[in-house]
Amino acid sequence: MTQNSQIISTGLRGRCPNCHEGQLFEGFLKFAKSCESCGFDFESQDVADGPAVFVILLASAIVVPLALAFQIKLDPPVLLTLAIWIPVISLLCLALLRPFRGVMFGLQIANNAAEGQLEQSSEDDAD
């Protein structure tokens, strides 16, 4: 198993990216403070809204064409279309969010991702 596939597999299962055993989550979407198995600090990283962006894009790419085809083929009342597809896209987003958070957390740690910072030039160092 390559490193990236192991990171993705570990994230999808909601396991610690360090030891691949301990639980990453203590709630539905809330990360635990640290790994129960190896003690790895989960509070050192924050995935913020990153997973939500990917989930919204993916869920929209799946649901919008289906909803459009449904609307065009069957021509139902708009309220019926909304009553069907709003819960579908909501449930799909909820189902995808936790695994995406786990994967992004693992990738962030594996790639030492951090907030962008401006490099100091050598002239600034001389001051």
DSSP 30: P
Of residues 50, 27, 68, the one with CA closest to residue 106: 50
What's the min distance (Å) between Cβ of 38 and Zn ion?
3
Question: What SS3 class is residue 74?
Answer: helix
Q: What are the start-end ranges of the E strands in the chain?
A: none
* 84 or 107: CB nearest Zn ion: 107
* 6 or 37: CB nearest Zn ion: 37
What's the min distance (Å) between Cβ of 90 and Zn ion?
32
Q: What is the token pair recorded at 116?
A: 């962008």
Give the footprint of Zn ion on this chain (CB under 5 A): 16, 18-19, 22, 35, 37-38, 40
What's the min distance (Å) between Cβ of 18 and Zn ion?
4
* 11 or 67: CB nearest Zn ion: 11
What's the min distance (Å) between Cβ of 20 and Zn ion?
7
* 38 or 53: CB nearest Zn ion: 38
**DSSP per-residue codes, 105-127:** HHHHHHTT-----PPPPHHHHH-
